[in-house]
């Protein structure tokens, strides 16, 4: 792995760790409402300003990292593993397996994702976990479709035939010969999804699902302040910046990670 | 290939259409189960803030929510067999009519977004793949990464503030022609452009490393010829997949964009249905979206078939 | 099933066709007033309407027997005059001659009999049938024991009589409500279920088009002269996002705009706009409901502590930017015709006392669930309340639910506390007492705190059925004081709304109740794009 790729990962991890350590830092409490300092612009007492309930945005942004990054990471990992396995199986085995998996994928994707998310968040007690599950339940299909398409291409290549002719087992062909060739797209997708999940979490928060108030998640911060974008732009800007920066780091990291797969390419 | 391929395609389409019916039935079943597990009785949203228990009971009877699950489901299937989706609990409007009015809007928005995203995305992807390491590649790379890292409603709000409020170029909301479609389509296209560009770039680069490209190169074919005829064509598969995926997601997933820009599409309609627990509306939207989605997938597969002879649409066997 | 597949194909075909050909007019129509609705009206059949949005539209399409003037007095609408018998049981209305439905037919007393019986009929499944539950014979009719309602009589084409079973003071005011509008039988029958989306009434406007989630377009009813509207029509744009609506207003695409919280300070401080803002002190009460039916909030001491713990005044001034008047009790000042003894319940913020009550009664650390609808303002206030109650030693868990689940939860008494508001349907104190605090209305009928106090029940009933206004006021006053003392609600405020108009809009008046504006005052001076 290149040094540069690691930097982005470290940046995100640093945010995450900082957020875990936040209770021990000299910060305002993220939930403390101060009706005497509503919508104060960024300044000495509040580096990122305060929101329309007088809460310190800087500390909310720090505390929020734990929630937003945590949800995105878990959900993306789960979606990637489930989706990739399904896609590999469908693409490689073909036949009934393919038909069934494709049907399930089509079936899941054709559902309005929101309804699925709502149903899941409602059946499970609301909170961080339900948001994670809701996101991975709707996100795995992208991986499955993409991997299936990729496997279909790779499967026809001569080295796969060669491996099979050499007597490799299906599992070996699949995981040693085909999988490495499909990883790149999966990682590109993973990078995209990580950022996407941070954004999707915001949409869930907007509907009153997932993270419950007053827990600070970046998405919820934006959606609760978005109407004030003209009068108090900092209330939207800083959480937005964090979301964008984090998604950016995830994407760059995935990009760099991609390059390390190269030596295993044919 | 053409004669034989044409026949296979026809059989394939027929098969997919035959599969559509049981798929839709199972979709109705699963959604019906889902709806019934959701808390939030539609009756309570229908009766407002003040209603006698007696009125609530009579409405329950009227919409059939006092009956058991299977008989409700059978009732719904009967309705579908009659060729309609029933009427909304609240507005008493025919759901099929409303969907027929909203689906075209959603399609229009999706097509417009794609019309922006496909050329921009592919161009950016090619630049990134063929000019690896150049300054312009870095810029394009940054932009595409930025594009997928921005929250959709942030892009939408910014676009509205800049183009409507400040520059006064385009109307902030409304459903209609070019003027109205520009902002929401742009908002939807931003992440799609980035996704497309990156997948296209990855895929093109990968194709360049493949055996037959090397062979072509070794044979002394011109780089441009290779780029256009061999690499790009070969790299199209994941790109087509992404286009299909994005398009599918616009059908029901453009809720935020539709809400911000007051676009009268099916996403908002479904969302409204979910919030109000308007079961006929939710079911109608799900069935429509499923059907459209399956058709989209079918098109994607057919395109696969034509752009890559290695992926044949075969009947069932690997 | 083949028909379904066919339908889907038809749909797909239509979709393609539309996406190529459809192109709606992009500019505003001249002399049409452009307004905003936050959400899609659910239905336009007056019998079924329960939401404010639909009532706002329906008020322009229909008329009732009586209406309200700016001072909230009952005034003639289709009825030219009326008499109430001394025993308070018989209401006799004389209708105006020549009052026409949009199809040109004259409104007669039979139309009222039909409309009111339709509201009561079970087949109509109207949630609003409680309006006429006091009418003689209503119960027998609903239970299928009678073919008609005996208490509703058309004495002649222009004479209509309603007999009620018991004297009921708010009855005349209830006749101003949206569900009591008159509808033409022939259109209802011809329309069937489509009447809800293609309504026809007597009003100053006619429905031109209703594209759900997009807009409702009304055009002037040329037959209407009571008086005739100045506008050619009204367009209600359905815009859920506040910022979008604000942008539309700034661009001049909306003529009048009810100011959302987020735009309030901006417009208030805007020197160009300031002079065009109208103030509307609404008939409403915002409250924190406390579930009195089960521990720990069945204990009045704890409820009182909660009321002491919250600094409503500060929240109103700071967070709410003063957009309201502090509430002393459930009844808005404009409807309260008695003098309240303010020492009966907790009014002042007293955190020390609150903490002390909590500690003394062993409630420290008690966990309470606070439910709110997933609406930004509600969530904001819930968070503020949570902060105050934490200071008093109570642990609050907020749960935000989207509207349907929220309503089911509060109707069933699931939460310990909930944030809600109540808006007047008709301008009578009874509307803020009987549905909300009478034990007969526990649950969906309005009493969601499940408050039951026999004495309060008796006093409210006494007021409802009293014919002497002095006796009525005394009863209501006593009931309200008892309610305040029992603290089933923490009374927050009566919200004030602000409406801003464009400079070219003339004659705008704002009204306390949503269905009072019939679109007859406003005119447009000049078109401005």
CB distance from B297 to chain A under 8 Å?
yes
C72 DSSP 8-state letter: S
* Rounded alpha-carbon distances, angstroms, from residue C145 to C121, C140, C148, C150: 12, 5, 9, 11
* Closest CA relative to residue B192, chosen from B270, B271, B253, B108: B253
pLDDT at C161: 96
Rounded distance, CA C351 to CA C353, Å?
A: 5
- The answer to whether C226 and C519 have CB atoms below 8 angstroms apart is no
CB distance from A199 to chain B under 8 Å?
yes
CB contact under 8 A, A224 and C260: no
> How much is the mean pLDDT over chain C?
89
Percent of chain A with pLDDT over 70: 85
Work out how many CB contacts closer than 8 A connect A with B.
162
Give the residue-averaged pLDDT of C86-104.
93
pLDDT digits over C330-344, tens only? 999 889 988 887 666
Strand, coil or helix: C509: coil
The pLDDT confidence band at residue A113, using thresholds 50, 70 and 90, is low
In our burial notation (b when 16+ CB lie closer than 10 A, e otherwise), range A72-94 reads bbbbbebbbebbbebbbbbbbbb
**Phi first, then psi: what are they for C288, rounded to 5°?**
-105, 110
A183 CB neighbour count, 10 Å cutoff = 20
Q: Which of A96, A113, A230 lies nearest to residue B252, judging by beta carbons?
A: A113
Is beta strand C395-401 parallel, antiparallel or unpaired with respect to C324-326? unpaired
Give the residue-averaged pLDDT of B195-219.
78
Residues of C in contact with B295 (CB under 8 A): 12
Q: Which of C50, C196, C408 lies nearest to residue B48, judging by beta carbons?
A: C50
Contacting subunits of C (3+ beta carbon pairs below 8 A) = A, B
Locate A215 and state its tokens: 């827990």
N residues, chain B: 318
pLDDT at C186: 95
Q: How far is C383 from chain A (nearest CA, A)?
A: 6
* Closest CA relative to residue C172, chosen from B70, B44, C180: C180
A44 DSSP 8-state letter: S
Contacting subunits of B (3+ beta carbon pairs below 8 A) = A, C
pLDDT at C342: 66
Locate B131 and state its tokens: 């000019």
CB distance from A231 to chain C under 8 Å?
yes
Tell me the Cα Rg of chain B.
24
Q: Which of B151, B211, B238 lies nearest to residue A158, judging by beta carbons?
A: B211
Question: Is residue C298 over pLDDT 60?
Answer: yes
Q: Which of C260, C261, C382 lies nearest to residue A213, judging by beta carbons?
A: C382
Rounded distance, CA C45 to CA A127, Å?
A: 40
The vertex-A169 CA angle with A164 and A170, nearest 5°, equals 85
Locate B99 and state its tokens: 């969907």
**Phi first, then psi: what are they for C75, rounded to 5°?**
-130, 160
CB distance from B257 to chain C under 8 Å?
no
Q: Looking up tokens 């509060």, which residue turns up? A: C410
CB distance from B280 to chain A under 8 Å?
no
The pLDDT confidence band at residue A68, using thresholds 50, 70 and 90, is confident
CB contact under 8 A, A213 and C401: no
Q: What are the helix and strand counts (H, E) for chain C?
A: 17, 20
pLDDT at C483: 94
The pLDDT confidence band at residue B5, using thresholds 50, 70 and 90, is low
With a CB cutoff of 8 Å and minimum separation 6, the contacts of C465 are C166, C167, C168, C169
Where is pLDDT greater, at A68 or C36? C36
CB distance from B164 to chain C under 8 Å?
yes
**What sign has the CA pseudo-torsion B23, A109, B105, C258?**
positive
Where is pLDDT greater, at A154 or C497? C497
Give the residue-averaged pLDDT of C205-234.
92
- The answer to whether A33 and A77 have CB atoms below 8 angstroms apart is no
> How much is the mean pLDDT over chain B?
80
Could you tell me the pTM of the whole model?
A: 0.86
pLDDT digits over B42-72, tens only? 888 787 778 888 788 888 887 777 778 888 8
- The answer to whether B89 and B43 have CB atoms below 8 angstroms apart is no
Residues of B in contact with A258 (CB under 8 A): 202
- The answer to whether C432 and C330 have CB atoms below 8 angstroms apart is yes
Rounded distance, CA B238 to CA B200, Å?
A: 7
CB contact under 8 A, C376 and A227: yes
Q: Which of C266, C384, C400 lies nearest to residue A53, judging by beta carbons?
A: C384
Give the residue-averaged pLDDT of C314-318.
93
Q: Cα–chain-centroid distance for residue B254?
A: 8
Task: Identify each DSSP E strand in A158-199 by its residue range.
Answer: none
* Closest CA relative to residue C57, chosen from C514, C520, C527, C528: C514
CB distance from B26 to chain C under 8 Å?
no
pLDDT at A266: 24
Q: Which residues pair with C287 in a beta bridge?
A: C420, C491
Tell me the Cα Rg of chain A.
22
DSSP one-letter string for C227-266: S--SSSEEEEEE---HHHHHHHHHTTS-SEEEPPHHHHHH
With a CB cutoff of 8 Å and minimum separation 6, the contacts of A11 are A249
DSSP alpha helix (H) spans, C368-453: 376-391, 403-411, 434-437
CB contact under 8 A, C11 and B96: yes
* Closest CA relative to residue A199, chosen from A133, A130, A246: A246
Q: How far is C401 from chain A (nearest CA, A)?
A: 6
- The answer to whether C420 and C449 have CB atoms below 8 angstroms apart is no
A248 CB neighbour count, 10 Å cutoff = 20
Highest mean pLDDT among B73-87, B117-131, B209-223, C162-176: C162-176
Residues of A in contact with B286 (CB under 8 A): 110-112, 115
Rounded distance, CA C237 to CA A61, Å?
A: 36
Work out how many CB contacts closer than 8 A connect A with C.
68
Percent of chain B with pLDDT over 70: 91
**Phi first, then psi: what are they for C283, rounded to 5°?**
-90, 85
Residues of B in contact with C440 (CB under 8 A): none
Question: Is residue A259 over pLDDT 90?
Answer: no
- The answer to whether C511 and C282 have CB atoms below 8 angstroms apart is no
The pLDDT confidence band at residue C1, using thresholds 50, 70 and 90, is very low
pLDDT at C501: 94
DSSP one-letter string for C335-378: G--S---GGGS--S--HHHHHHHHHHTT-TT-EEEEEEES-HHH
Half-sphere exposure of A266 (CA within 13 A, CB side): 22
Give the residue-averaged pLDDT of A191-199.
76
């Amino acid at each position: 792995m290149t040094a540069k790729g690691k930097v982005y990962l470290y940046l995100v991890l640093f945010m995450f760790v900082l957020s875990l350590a936040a209770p021990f830092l000299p910060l305002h409490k993220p939930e403390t409402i101060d009706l005497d300092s509503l919508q104060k612009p960024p300044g000495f007492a509040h580096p990122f300003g305060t929101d329309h309930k007088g809460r310190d945005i800087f500390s909310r942004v720090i505390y929020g990292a734990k929630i937003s990054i945590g949800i995105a990471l878990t959900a993306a990992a789960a979606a990637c593993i489930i989706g990739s396995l399904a896609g590999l199986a469908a693409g490689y085995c073909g036949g009934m397996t393919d038909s069934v998996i494709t049907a399930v994928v089509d079936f899941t994707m054709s559902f309005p994702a929101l309804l699925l998310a709502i149903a899941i968040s409602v059946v499970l007690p609301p909170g961080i976990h339900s948001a994670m599950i809701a996101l991975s339940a709707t996100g795995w299909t992208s991986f499955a479709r993409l991997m299936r398409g990729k496997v279909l291409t790779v499967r026809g290549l001569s080295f796969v035939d060669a491996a099979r002719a050499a007597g490799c087992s299906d599992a070996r062909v699949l995981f040693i010969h085909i999988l490495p060739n499909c990883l790149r797209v999966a990682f590109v997708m993973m990078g995209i999804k990580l950022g996407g999940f941070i954004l999707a979490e915001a949409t869930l928060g907007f509907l009153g699902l997932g993270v419950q108030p007053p827990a600070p998640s970046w998405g919820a911060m934006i959606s609760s302040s978005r109407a004030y974008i003209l009068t108090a732009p900092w209330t939207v800007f800083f959480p937005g910046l964090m979301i964008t920066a984090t998604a950016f780091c995830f994407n760059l990291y995935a990009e760099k990670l991609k390059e390390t797969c190269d030596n295993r390419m044919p | 290939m053409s004669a034989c391929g044409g026949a296979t395609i026809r059989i394939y389409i027929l098969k997919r259409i035959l599969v559509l019916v049981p798929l839709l039935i199972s979709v109705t079943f699963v959604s019906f189960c889902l709806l019934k597990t959701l808390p939030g009785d539609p009756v309570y949203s229908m009766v407002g803030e003040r209603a006698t228990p007696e009125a609530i009971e009579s409405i329950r009877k009227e919409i059939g929510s006092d009956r058991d699950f299977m008989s409700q489901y059978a009732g719904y299937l009967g309705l579908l067999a009659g060729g309609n989706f029933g009427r909304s609990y609240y507005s008493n409007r025919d759901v099929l009519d409303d969907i027929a009015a909203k689906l075209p809007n959603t399609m229009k928005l999706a097509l417009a977004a794609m019309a922006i995203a496909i050329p921009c995305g592919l161009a950016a992807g090619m630049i990134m793949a063929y000019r690896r390491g150049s300054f312009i590649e870095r810029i394009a790379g940054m932009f595409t990464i930025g594009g997928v890292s921005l929250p959709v409603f942030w892009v939408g709000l910014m676009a509205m503030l800049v183009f409507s409020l400040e520059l006064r170029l385009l109307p902030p909301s409304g459903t209609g022609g070019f003027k109205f479609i520009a902002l929401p389509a742009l908002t939807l296209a931003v992440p799609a452009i980035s996704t497309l560009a990156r997948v296209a770039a990855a895929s093109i680069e990968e194709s360049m490393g493949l055996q037959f490209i090397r062979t072509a190169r070794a044979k002394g074919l011109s780089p441009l010829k290779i780029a256009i005829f061999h690499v790009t064509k070969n790299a199209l598969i994941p790109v087509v997949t992404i286009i299909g995926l994005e398009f599918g997601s616009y059908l029901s997933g453009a809720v935020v964009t539709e809400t911000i820009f007051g676009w009268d599409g099916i996403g908002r309609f479904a969302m409204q249905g979910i919030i109000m627990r308007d079961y006929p509306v939710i079911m109608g939207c799900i069935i429509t979206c499923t059907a459209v989605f399956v058709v989209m997938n079918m098109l994607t597969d057919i395109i696969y078939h034509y752009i890559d002879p290695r992926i044949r649409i075969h009947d069932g066997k690997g | 099933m083949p028909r379904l597949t066919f339908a889907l194909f038809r749909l797909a075909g239509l979709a393609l066709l539309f996406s190529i050909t459809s192109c709606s007019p992009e500019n505003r129509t001249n002399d049409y007033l452009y307004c905003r609705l936050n959400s899609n009206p659910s239905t336009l059949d007056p019998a079924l309407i329960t939401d404010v949005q639909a009532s706002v539209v329906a008020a322009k399409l229909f008329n009732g027997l009586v209406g309200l003037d700016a001072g909230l007095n009952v005034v003639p609408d289709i009825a030219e005059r009326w008499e109430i018998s001394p025993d308070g049981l018989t209401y006799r209305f004389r209708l105006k001659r020549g009052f026409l439905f949009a199809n040109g037919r004259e409104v007669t007393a039979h139309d009222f009999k039909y409309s009111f019986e339709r509201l009561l009929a079970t087949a109509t499944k109207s949630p609003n049938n409680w309006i006429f539950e006091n009418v003689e014979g209503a119960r027998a009719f609903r239970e299928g024991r009678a073919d008609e309602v005996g208490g509703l009589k058309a004495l002649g084409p222009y004479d209509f009589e309603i007999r009620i079973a018991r004297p009921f003071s708010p009855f005349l005011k209830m006749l101003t409500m949206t569900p009591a509008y008159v509808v033409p039988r022939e259109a209802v029958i011809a329309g069937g279920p489509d009447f809800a989306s293609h309504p026809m009434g007597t009003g100053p406007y006619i429905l031109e088009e209703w594209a759900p989630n997009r807009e409702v377009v009304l055009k002037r009813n040329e037959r209407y002269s009571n008086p005739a509207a100045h506008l050619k029509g009204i367009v209600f744009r359905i815009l859920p996002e506040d910022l979008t609506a604000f942008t539309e207003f700034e661009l001049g695409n909306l003529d009048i705009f009810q100011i959302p919280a987020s735009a309030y300070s901006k417009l208030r401080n805007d020197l160009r706009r300031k002079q065009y803002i109208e103030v509307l002190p609404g008939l409403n009460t915002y409250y924190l409901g406390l579930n009195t039916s089960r521990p720990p909030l069945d204990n009045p001491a704890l409820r009182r502590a909660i009321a002491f713990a919250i600094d409503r005044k500060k929240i109103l001034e700071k967070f709410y930017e003063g957009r309201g008047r502090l509430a002393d009790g459930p009844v808005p000042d404009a409807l309260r015709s008695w003098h309240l003894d303010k020492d009966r319940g907790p009014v002042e913020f007293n955190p020390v006392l609150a903490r002390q009550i909590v500690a003394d009664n062993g409630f420290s650390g008690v966990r309470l669930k606070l439910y709110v609808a997933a609406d930004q303002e509600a969530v904001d206030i819930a968070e503020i309340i949570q902060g105050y109650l934490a200071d008093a030693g109570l642990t609050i868990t907020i749960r935000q639910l989207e509207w349907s689940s929220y309503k089911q939860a509060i109707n069933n008494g699931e939460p310990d506390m909930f944030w809600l508001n109540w808006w007047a349907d008709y301008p009578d104190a009874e509307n803020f007492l009987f549905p909300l605090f009478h034990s007969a209305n526990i649950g969906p009928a309005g009493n969601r705190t499940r408050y039951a106090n026999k004495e309060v029940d008796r006093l409210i009933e006494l007021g409802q059925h009293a014919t002497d206004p002095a006796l009525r006021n005394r009863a209501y006053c006593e009931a309200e004081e008892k309610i305040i003392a029992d603290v089933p609600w923490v009374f927050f405020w009566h919200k004030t709304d602000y409406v801003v108009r464009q400079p070219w809009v003339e004659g705008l008046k704002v009204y306390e109740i949503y269905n009072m504006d019939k679109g007859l005052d406003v005119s447009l001076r000049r078109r401005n794009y």
